[in-house]
């Protein structure tokens, strides 16, 4: 646990989950959280997630740049 405590400010956690709309469309929600502060660093929604889209979400959090 010491390793985690010493580096907790630099650790990100992420998750995908599904949201179904009132018209039964399936949307994918991607959330990135800073573990040390438990702050939501980024979230976004798409109907068709791709590897490139997911990578871009991480880039925006790590570099602080938005397109």
Q: What is the pLDDT of residues 19-65, one digit of tens each?
A: 999 999 999 999 999 888 889 989 999 999 999 999 999 999 888 77
- Going from the C-alpha of 62 to that of each of 12, 28, 33, 56, 65, the distances in angstroms are 10, 21, 12, 10, 8
Handedness of CA 41, 16, 27, 60 (dihedral sign): positive
The pLDDT of residue 67: 60
Q: How far is CA 11 from CA 23, 27, 38, in A?
A: 37, 26, 10
């Amino acid at each position: 646990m010491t390793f985690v405590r010493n580096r907790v400010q630099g650790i990100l956690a992420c998750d995908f989950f599904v949201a179904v709309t009132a018209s039964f469309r399936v949307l994918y929600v991607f959330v990135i959280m800073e573990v040390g502060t438990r702050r939501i660093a980024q979230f976004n929604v798409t109907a068709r997630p791709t590897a490139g889209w997911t990578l871009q979400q991480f880039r925006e959090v790590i570099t602080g740049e938005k397109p």
